[in-house]
Structure 1
Amino acid sequence: MTQDNAGKDAHARTPTDDPDAAALYSVAGGVATITLNRPDYRNALSVEIVNAIGDHFEAALADPEVRAVLFTHVGNTFCAGADLRAAQPGVPQPTLRYNFVEILEKIMTCDKPVVGRLAGHVTAGGVGLAAAMDISIAADDAIIGFTEVRIGVAPAVISVVCLPKLRRADASELFLEGERVPAPRAAAAGLINRAVSRELLDDEVASTLRRLVRGGPNALAHTKQLVARVPQMPRAQAWEWTAELSQRLFQSDEAAEGIAAFRERRDASWVPPEE
């Protein structure tokens, strides 16, 4: 599989829209796949690509058959951040229907796990997109970096999603130097989850998604809340909130089905059939 085709061919996906669209969308095996599809422009966050991401992500969240969302890409760059062409005078732009900040917030707070497959370079706003996801897996030869200072700006907006994942020392070095670093360095800093060899990337992503869709939909949604909210709570409040949540979940129909499936050594009813 070539890198340019990897985003289209992985997991036997069949795009359901225009193959020339800014981002492609398909659903298989309980996973909605959003493929950034502007390789000639390094999948920069143009109005077209942000609108397409927003449309597809809304579709994935509204579809009860979708249990997890995968972001991937065509070409040698996952996402190069802001589309600098848009800043040129006289270049007409379509209407922006989605705010990038709102997309990042929704990725972090939605009920469904979101996974990133990074088989190429990731810079600037693209790093924020990857950092907002629950699990980001990169090829070990991918290059990741906050390059904003090199063009006279700062990684301001994306710092909101990136800084909670980084030690201050790592954040200072990565933000201030503006260097692009290998994916293993980004993983060691906590910016992404892990880096694997390019040959193993698709298998690693597929295995991760298979594990995720085995979780109960309600359980996954509340587990995302745990990760986001508990570290921000005073300890006494955290004990109270998590105890109440645990009791409520154990009394749910989903838990009854999950426990029955465990005892009967079968898949729970929510696990998608293998294709």
Structure 2
Amino acid sequence: MVESCEPIISRRNAMHRREMDSFGFVESQKALELAPVAVLATDQPARSGFPAHTHSSAQLIYAISGVMIVRSEAGSWIVPTGRAVWVPGGVRHEIEIASDVQMRTVYVAADARDNLPGSCRVILVSGLLRELIVTAVGIRPAGTYSDREWRVLELILDEICMAEPLLLHVPMPRHPAFVELCAELIAQPSLEATLHGWAQRAEMNPRTFARAFQRETGMTHGSWCRHTRVLLSLPQLATGASVLEVALEHGYESPSAFTAMFRRVLGVAPSEYFK
């Protein structure tokens, strides 16, 4: 199980549960009885979120601005500005709002398409998909939809099906000892995390540990640590923290070392990522 975000998602969870109806969640679910897609617009403050929950409809959770972290048993997905995370129906997940977020949630009926993604993933929201989502916010549930409204909803599904996944996923293992070690690094990215040190704590020899860790996460221990530290830096960078500050807090000795790894993982320098 992934680490809980209870320390970050405050007691306002209860408030968020009560407010979901006022945000239009129930209305959007009823809309799916009439159309394949319903879009809900909400703005969420930093350090809020939604506790673990599930629903039959799939959803695309889009950050027009700000950064979210979505967690399930399979890991964590970092969702920066201009990206969206796809969560299939029936997947238990929780959402942490890392900075003030303009959120647009696209709910998709379970039987909308046969070729929708079957697992969680982050996608880059194209200019077309963004405009379709913004337009669909204004489409209210009705007994009938205009041809234009129906085309907008169908085009949203086309764009979701065609979108390529981004490498913004922190995969989580299932071995209890591995989960504990990974959760510690996620909670405090500056911690030292050597292969030998982790193997010793898991009471395994390093070679056995390395094979088992890669089998469960799909990544080597070193790659997982580097990848995770870079992704966890995104919420701070999005709120204006300096590269120096973020580098030191995420276990790097210098801004240049952090920038090099950031570029290696995400393809651009930290200063360019949110442009």
**TM-score, normalised via structure 1 length:** 0.28
Point out which structure has higher relative CO (alpha carbons under 8 A, 6+ apart).
Answer: 2
| Higher helix content, 1 or 2 | 1
